Amino acid sequence: MQRLMTRRIRKSLLVILGFLLVVVLVGPFLVPVPALEGQAPQELADTDSHFIDIGDVTVHYKQYGHGEPTFFLLHGTLMGYGRDEWQLKIESPSTFTGA
């Protein structure tokens, strides 16, 4: 009897955890995001932002420091991870290089 209750509890917990996992992974895609029609990316950017046209694509970039070495930090937008996470690393390079 005790084993049967333990199995039921374990099964119930797995079902609940599975449901919560689905909600966490799928939920953000169900939230409507209003369109930013009529606004150019330049209007939404920070004051220290720069833009360059490469072919048919307008690329946003920021420039920090001067001299050598030069390096680029590229980011995506998956799950909200983007430029803001790099911002702290750029402003304090020693945390990025491990020095």
pLDDT score, position 34:
79
How many CB atoms sit inside 10 A of residue 48's CB?
8
Higher pLDDT, 55 or 59: 55
pTM over 0.85: no
As a whole number, mean pLDDT of residues 75-84 equals 56
SS3 for 51-86 is: EEEECCEEEEECCCCCCCCCCCCCCCCHHHCCHHHH
